[in-house]
Amino acid sequence: MSYKRELKGLYVITDDKLTPSNTLFSQVEKSLKGGASIVQLRDKKNSDDIVKLTAVKLQKLCHKYNAAFVLNDKIELAIELGCDGLHIGKSDHHRFEEIRKKFKGKIGVSCYGDVELAKSFERKGADYAAFGSFFSSPTKPTSNIVPLEVLSKAKKELSIPVCAIGGINSENLLDIMKHDPDMVSIISDIWNSENITAQASFYSNQF
């Protein structure tokens, strides 16, 4: 199934440490109850067989809440399962055209701080571009920090949705929202919250 709803709002990303397999589904469901509109499975440690089982179950859960399910990096699996979306980073940029021919869902691309790169992927058929990190991120501590102005430039020069990611939390969110991103990706500030549903609702309400 390819996802038809507009790509907008709170975009939550799972994490090997913060969403362990024994609580993953209950945590994700709490975020969906709070209004998360996109859920990305980012699993760097489990076998493809386990990722496959998790992805099928998560996509079903997302659809229950009219949310989109995105698989990170696992290109062949995303094609096989017919995921709503696939997100690719730098290591797969060179494969984009091949992926676009085979994958029918939405494709998001990490563009870091490079709007020109995002424009080239837009021309090739990308469905959204993600930019960041904008603040130091506990998930990716070595990421380069990107100036916030990149978001405004991206919004002005791209016609596909723009996603902000990296170190975003409730304290710096207003600085991000001034630049009018279509989506904000949150990891730590959702999963570390004592009330995931309320925290997700706080972010969702910004849109």
- Per residue in 126-136, pLDDT (tens digit) is 999 999 999 98
At 143 the pLDDT is 76
Judge whether residue 3 has pLDDT over 70: no
Residue 2 and residue 164 in contact, taking contact as beta carbons nearer than 8 Å: no
Beta-strand relationship, 183-186 and 9-13: parallel
pLDDT at 81: 97
Indicate whether 179 pLDDT > 80.
Answer: yes
- pTM score, whole prediction: 0.96
CA nearest 40: which of 26, 30, 54? Answer: 54
DSSP lists the bridge partners of residue 10 as 184
According to the model, what pLDDT value does residue 6 have? Answer: 85
Q: Would you say residue 2 has pLDDT above 50?
A: no
Mean pLDDT of 14-43: 98
Digit-coded pLDDT (tens) for 50-105: 999 999 999 999 999 999 999 999 999 999 999 999 999 999 999 999 999 999 99
Q: Positive or negative CA dihedral for 142, 87, 168, 159?
A: positive
Tens of pLDDT along 117-165? 999 999 999 999 999 999 987 777 777 899 999 999 999 999 999 999 9
Q: How many CB atoms lie within 10 A of CB 73?
A: 17
